[in-house]
Structure formats: C-alpha cells, structure tokens
C-alpha cells in the first residue's frame, strides 16, 4: 500500500510538471533588521587576532591549519559582506586592514570595543558604523566510504562495482558586532555556524581524495558565503524564483505560451484573454492563472494578485490560492524593501 501511495504521488507530480511552462524571476528580499537612516557607510575591521601563545600553536598543529589560514578566511567573510551590500547599494562599505586582538576566544564574544576607538575608526574611514568580525574558527573534515553501483560490463551484463564517495565538510563559527558610533550602541550582535559540503567520487579512495577541493579554498568559500548571507540581516538581497504556469491544452494556451517564450508577455495576455471569456471552467482558470504570472513578470503585482484571485474564486483553480498568498506576501515585502532603499537616498 505504501508503494502504491508513493507511486501515485510521483505520478501526480509528473503530470503537474509535464503540463507547465516556467519563467525565472529575480526578486528582492527585505533585510531582517532595519538600521537607522543615518547609517550610510560601514567600515569592516577584524577583531579575531589571537595571541601567539603555546596553546594556539598546538591547536594549529592538531587541526592542520596553514599559516595565517583563518586570517585569510576572515578577509573572505568581509568580502562576502561587501559584495552583497554592493549588489543592492543600501550602504557604502569600506574595506580596512585594521586588525585587533581581544579578550575573546574562537567561540565566545570578547568585551565590546572601546567607544573612543570606534569613534576614531569612524572618523578615519568617514564611516557611521563599524562592523567588527569578533569570533572566527574554521574546520575541514573529510570522510569517505565505498558505494555499490549497478552497471553493465563489456558484455552488457549487469554487475556491481565499488565507487568511493568522499565528502569534505567546511565549517566555520563566526560572530559579528555592528557598532553605532554616534549613539554608542550595538546595532547587531550575531553569531552562527555555517557549513558547506563538497562531494567527489572515484574508483579508489585515493582517486576520490585527489579530486577533493583544497582545504584553504573550501574554508575561503564557506567564509565568503557566510559574509554574503550575513548581509541579508541588514540590507535587502536578491534571490531567484521560478514561476510555473500552464501550457496545456495546447490549442487553448499554446499561442500565449509561445509568445511568453519570446518575452512578449503583453501579447501572451491578449492570447489568453479569450480563453478566460469563452473557455471551459478548467481552461478559463488556467488562462487566468497564466495572466497572473504574466502581470507579475511585467511588474504589476496588484493586477497579478487580482488575476490569481479570479483564477481561484471564479474558476476554482487550486494552485491559484497558494499563488495569491505568495503574491500578497511579495507585495508586503516590496513595501518594506522600498522603505529600506529610500533611506539610502
């Protein structure tokens, strides 16, 4: 019975995807935190410098850290943050070579920066806030295991051979504080663990390991990614979505679909309108849904939501209800994003 249910679910999904066309959209998501309007320029500094004591030297040997590995990776956290901010232009960001030691550790925040130092740094770099990377630690672990793969031999007969599957896991623990120089308050204190997996496969263990990404590169990549993700806390960020719409029945919807494929969305709307007005309920609901997608692509979210509502309410297209809710959420987000970006002007 369980197998029958799984097959039925897969069949429904196949039928759904086989009767749809699609379009990719680039949208903007609002930041998690709304910073004050007067925060226009942010300077980035490194407060993760550890004392060169015996304990730290032993840890570097045990974990296989290369010379200044974490110091280089901290720079990548900063680069990821700066790159994400540049995409939306909510803030100016300033790269600095400032490095400070502190009384913290690789897992615990240090005491806050002296506010006189924060003010001096802001004056030096003409910044309104200081983003200090204050916790940083990295690790890279590789595991491997044999995997049985079914294949055919030279005679075409089924055989089972062993492949070796290796997984490299790059993990960083980092913490950031954002200092407001004018009001001498901490605008954000954030600590998290971020990881990325790197998978390879080979005929032998060594063949698999030979394809594995270099440890330094892996840590740098996960660090850059972590900095990029952190930026979404304080600045709007772009993301990609795929919108699916109906392409069947071909006789009713095909012309509009072909127009959409050459980016003639106004023409597609004109082609689908008669189906809404004269088609069967099911076909009319699908055409109305497609028109909703077209208006979203064209940037008119209110009209898009109106057509999604018609598709669901008048023609009972079940997918249109979820799409209507998605559009309502996007409209709310657009209002927030506009407010966040207006504060930059």
Compute the distance between CA of residue 75 and CA of residue 219 in angstroms, rounded to an integer: 11
Using 50, 70 and 90 to split pLDDT, how confident is the model at 252? very high
Whether 231 and 309 share a structural domain? no
Same structural domain, 226 and 284: no
- How far, in whole angstroms, is CA 318 from its chain's centroid? 29
Residues 190 and 268 in one domain: no
What is the per-residue pLDDT across 69-111, written as a single tens digit (0 to 9) for each?
788 899 999 999 999 998 887 889 999 999 999 898 889 999 9
How many Å is the maximal CA-CA distance in the chain? 82
- Whether 293 and 188 map to the same domain: the answer is no
Residue 33 lies in a domain: no
pTM reported for the whole predicted model: 0.76
SS3 (DSSP) at 219: helix
221 and 274 in a common domain: no
Whether 247 is in a domain gets the answer yes
- When computed from its CA atoms, the radius of gyration of the chain, rounded to whole angstroms, is 27
| Residue 141 counted as domain residue | no
Residue 263: give its domain's CATH number: 1.25.40.10
Which tokens go with 98? 């400032």
H/E stretch holding 95 reads: strand 92-101
Is 8 inside a domain boundary?
no
Q: Please give the residue range of the domain that contains residue 115.
A: 41-136+176-198+212-238
Rounded Cα distance between 46 and 136, Å, is: 10
Render pLDDT for 180-214 as a digit per residue (tens, 0 to 9): 999 999 999 999 999 999 999 888 888 888 889 99
Asked, for residue 13, whether it belongs to a domain, the answer is no
CB crowding 244-258: b at 16 or more within 10 Å, else e: bbbbeeeebbebbbb
């Amino acid at each position: 019975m369980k197998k029958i249910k799984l097959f039925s679910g897969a069949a429904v999904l196949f039928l759904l995807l086989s009767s749809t066309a699609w379009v990719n959209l680039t949208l903007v998501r609002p930041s998690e935190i709304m910073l004050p309007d007067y925060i226009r320029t942010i300077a980035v500094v490194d407060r993760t410098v550890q004392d060169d004591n015996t304990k730290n030297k032993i840890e570097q040997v045990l974990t296989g850290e290369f010379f200044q590995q974490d110091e280089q990776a901290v720079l990548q956290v900063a680069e990821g943050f700066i790159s994400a901010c540049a995409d939306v232009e909510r803030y100016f960001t300033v790269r600095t070579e400032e490095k400070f030691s502190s009384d913290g550790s690789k897992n615990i925040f240090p005491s806050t920066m002296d506010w006189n130092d924060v003010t001096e740094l802001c004056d030096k770099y003409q910044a309104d806030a200081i983003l200090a990377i204050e916790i940083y630690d990295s690790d890279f672990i590789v595991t491997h295991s044999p995997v049985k793969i079914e294949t055919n031999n030279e005679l075409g007969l089924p055989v089972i051979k062993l492949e070796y599957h290796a997984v490299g896991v790059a993990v960083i623990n980092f913490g950031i504080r954002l200092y407001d120089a004018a009001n001498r308050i901490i605008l954000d204190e954030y600590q998290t663990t971020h990881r990325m997996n790197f998978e390879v496969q080979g005929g032998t263990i060594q063949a698999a390991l030979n394809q594995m990404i270099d440890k330094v590169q892996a840590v740098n990549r996960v660090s850059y990614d972590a900095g990029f993700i952190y930026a979404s806390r304080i600045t709007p960020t772009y993301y990609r979505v795929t919108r699916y719409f109906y392409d069947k029945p071909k006789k009713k919807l095909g012309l509009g679909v072909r127009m959409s494929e050459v980016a003639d969305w106004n023409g597609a709307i004109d082609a689908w309108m008669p189906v809404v007005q004269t088609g069967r309920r099911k076909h009319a609901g699908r055409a109305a849904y497609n028109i909703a997608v077209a208006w979203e692509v064209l940037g008119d979210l209110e009209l898009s939501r109106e057509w999604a509502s018609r598709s669901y309410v008048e023609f009972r297209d079940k997918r249109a209800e979820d799409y209507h809710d998605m559009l309502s959420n996007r409209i709310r987000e657009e209002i927030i994003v506009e407010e966040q970006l207006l504060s930059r002007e």
